A and B are shown apart, each in its own frame.
Chain A
Amino acid sequence: MAECDTVNSTDKNSVACASIDKELLELFDVLTQYQHIRGSANQELKQAYFDLTLAKRSAGYRWISPDLYSGRAQAIATAAIDPRTGHVSIVRRDVARRRTSEKSSQEQQKEMGDEGQGRSGLRQRRERKGSANKDKDKEEPGEQNNGESDEMRALDDPLLWFGMLVPPSLKDAQRGFVTSLDRLIALGQVKQQLLVKQQRLQQRIAQTQQKKQEQGMKK
């Protein structure tokens, strides 16, 4: 910096200048990192927007719209801040299309039930009685499960807001936005570092300037 270019600088001044240089180099390193992550995040977002546009084109522009957002949405992707270091990481709750799995298990049960109706005989009836009792047993805690199933529905994959059979491009778009979000979280982290380093450097420069002024006053 300009303050460090003085020929008649004292030892203390040169030490201060060296520390400013060090801080400056660190700032440049973080800045390079910021620009690198920014570039890759932008690239990912660009592809994700393209996939989303493809999905809208194939499924209809009204079909993928804000009107379809769930009114009971709960965040699946959240940020976790480390209280000690202030490091931000992303936390994802596993929701892997629960409604689909619930439905498929219900369908399986229904199919089994249909097969059972086709058969007749004492053996089958006994099984049915047994299964009926089991069903009764299941029904009792089932009332308690209602709340749980509500919660599970709220934690559904957001893809399901747009229907059961979504175009592959929408799935690609989702994948792209998930990756972009990871990059953006990393970018936020680097931004914090950059601002901290910038503030520190500003303070150092101000301190060095002040010392230099004081030395000038003494002379």
Chain B
Amino acid sequence: MAAATHKERTLIAAIGDEDTVTGLLLAGIGDIDIHQRPNFLVVDAKTTQEQIEETFTAFTKRKDIAIILINQHVAEVIRGILDEYNAAFPTVLEIPSKDHPYDPSKDSVLKRVQLLFGD
């Protein structure tokens, strides 16, 4: 049953700033389905926390998304939801953006491993 649902998960979604989304769309991940729902969200100064949360939740509920790529600085805005999210699919990966380089101390994967050792 789970295997069948995983088979339908083919899309790579993106939530990030303009450069990140443009780059990932250039790589060919962009998809707009028959309901006109895109698999990406461009986050700018006008984008509210609620919009990011709604989009992230919608992506996690969609059955056709396998991976969600999210900028680390955007992930910080919805850290609460991200920390609660434990499902295997869609896999959430935090990526750096042009203006916000990768910070290992904010990486949720490394944080979980640190928790294991009681740090």
**A contacts, CB < 8 Å to B:** 27, 31, 34, 38, 41-42, 45-46, 48-49, 52-53, 64-66, 69-81, 83-84, 86, 88, 91-93, 95, 158-159, 170, 173-174, 176-178, 180-181, 184-185, 187-188, 191-192, 194-195, 198, 201-202
Whether a CB of chain A sits under 8 angstroms from the CB of B54 is no
The residues of B that contact A42 with a CB separation of less than 8 Å are 96, 101-102
Query: Is the pair B116, A184 in contact by a Cβ cutoff of 8 Å?
Result: no
Query: Is the pair A49, B98 in contact by a Cβ cutoff of 8 Å?
Result: yes
A176 to B7, CA, bound (A): 28
Query: Is the pair B6, A72 in contact by a Cβ cutoff of 8 Å?
Result: no
Instruction: Return the chain B residue nearest A176 by Cβ.
Output: B23
Whether a CB of chain A sits under 8 angstroms from the CB of B4 is yes
The digit string for B56-99, where 1 denotes a CB below 8 A from any CB of A, is: 00000000001101000000000000000000110101011110
Query: Is the pair B96, A77 in contact by a Cβ cutoff of 8 Å?
Result: no
Query: Is the pair A79, B30 in contact by a Cβ cutoff of 8 Å?
Result: no
What 10 additional pairs, Cβ within 8 angstroms, besides A76-B29, A92-B28?
A: A69-B30, A70-B30, A74-B31, A81-B9, A83-B6, A177-B26, A178-B27, A180-B27, A195-B88, A198-B116
Looking at the complex, which one of B19, B29, B69, B93 makes contact with A49 (CB distance below 8 Å)? B19
Query: Is the pair B29, A77 in contact by a Cβ cutoff of 8 Å?
Result: yes
The residues of B that contact A74 with a CB separation of less than 8 Å are 30-32
Q: How far is the CB of A6 from chain B (nearest CB, A)?
A: 18
Q: How far is the CB of A146 from chain B (nearest CB, A)?
A: 19
**Sampled A-B contacts (29; CB under 8 Å):** A38-B102, A41-B95, A49-B23, A52-B98, A65-B18, A65-B22, A66-B21, A66-B42, A69-B25, A70-B30, A70-B32, A73-B38, A74-B32, A78-B10, A81-B89, A83-B3, A83-B6, A88-B66, A91-B10, A93-B28, A95-B28, A158-B27, A159-B26, A181-B24, A184-B67, A185-B67, A188-B93, A195-B88, A202-B116
**B contacts, CB < 8 Å to A:** 3-4, 6-7, 9-12, 18-19, 21-32, 38-39, 42, 66-67, 69, 88-89, 91, 93, 95-98, 101-102, 107, 109, 112-113, 116
Query: Is the pair A194, B23 in contact by a Cβ cutoff of 8 Å?
Result: no
A66 to B40, CA, bound (A): 11
A159 to B101, CA, bound (A): 26
Query: Is the pair A83, B7 in contact by a Cβ cutoff of 8 Å?
Result: yes
Q: How far is the CB of A139 from chain B (nearest CB, A)?
A: 30
Q: How far is the CB of A175 from chain B (nearest CB, A)?
A: 9
Looking at the complex, which one of B9, B22, B24, B39 makes contact with A64 (CB distance below 8 Å)? B22
Known contacts A73-B31, A74-B31, A79-B9: A184-B95 contact under CB 8 Å: yes
The residues of A that contact B19 with a CB separation of less than 8 Å are 49, 52-53
Looking at the complex, which one of B29, B89, B91, B116 makes contact with A75 (CB distance below 8 Å)? B29
Q: How far is the CB of A161 from chain B (nearest CB, A)?
A: 8
The residues of A that contact B113 with a CB separation of less than 8 Å are 27, 31, 194, 198
Known contacts A48-B23, A198-B112: A71-B32 contact under CB 8 Å: yes
